[in-house]
Amino acid sequence: MADAAGRLTKLAEEVLGTPLPVRIRAWDRSESGPPGAPVLVIRHRRALRRLLFKPGELGLARGWVAGDLDIEGDLYEALDLLAGLLWERAATTKAPRAAALRALARPELRAAARELLALAGAPVPPTPPAEEVRRRRGPLHTLRRDKEAISHHYDVGNDFYALVLGPSMVYSCAYWESPDASLEDAQRDKLDLICRKLALKEGQRLLDVGCGWGSMVLHAAREYGVRAVGITLSEEQATFARKRIAEAGLADRIEIRVQDYREIKDEPFDAISSIGMAEHVGRDRYAEYASALYALLRPGGRLLNHQIARRPLADEETYRVDDFIDRYVFPDGELAPVGRTVAQLEEAGFEVRDVEGIREHYALTLRQWVANLEKHWDEAARLTSPGRARVWRLYMAASALSFERNRIGVNQVLAVRTPDSGTSGVRLRERSWG
164 lies in the same domain as 277: yes
Final residue belonging to a domain, choices 56, 89, 120: 120
pTM: 0.90
189 lies in the same domain as 314: yes
Alpha-carbon torsion 332, 94, 61, 171, what sign? negative
Angle (nearest 5°) at CA 79 between 74 and 80: 100
Q: Distance between CA 224 and CA 11 in Å, rounded? A: 62
Beta pairing class for 227-232 and 254-258: parallel
Residue type, 199: A
Residue 81 placed within a domain = yes
pLDDT at 113: 63
The 10 Å Cβ neighbour count of residue 43 is 15
Name the DSSP class of 108: G
Q: Which domain holds residue 158?
A: 143-432
Which CATH number is 222's domain given?
Answer: 3.40.50.150
pLDDT at 90: 46
Residue type, 398: A
Return left, alpha or beta for 299; rule: phi > 0 is left, psi -120 to 50 is alpha, else beta: beta
Residue 45 placed within a domain = yes
pLDDT at 110: 60
pLDDT at 193: 97
Residue 133 placed within a domain = no
pLDDT at 107: 58
One digit per residue, pLDDT tens: the chain, 434 residues? 579 999 999 888 887 788 999 999 999 999 999 999 999 999 999 999 888 888 777 888 899 999 999 999 999 999 999 887 765 544 444 554 455 555 555 555 566 667 777 788 766 777 878 665 656 667 778 888 878 777 776 777 899 999 999 999 999 999 999 999 999 999 999 999 999 999 999 999 999 999 999 999 999 999 999 999 999 999 999 999 999 999 999 999 999 999 999 999 988 999 999 999 999 999 999 999 999 999 999 999 999 999 999 999 988 887 888 888 888 888 888 999 999 999 999 999 999 999 999 999 999 999 999 999 999 999 999 999 999 999 999 999 999 999 999 999 999 999 999 999 999 999 887 777 75
Q: Distance between CA 257 and CA 33 in Å, rounded? A: 54
pLDDT at 87: 53
pLDDT at 16: 79
Whether the Cβ atoms of residue 409 and residue 191 lie closer than 8 Å to each other: no
Residue 131 placed within a domain = no
Domain count, the chain: 2
Residue 318: φ, ψ to 5°? -85, -5
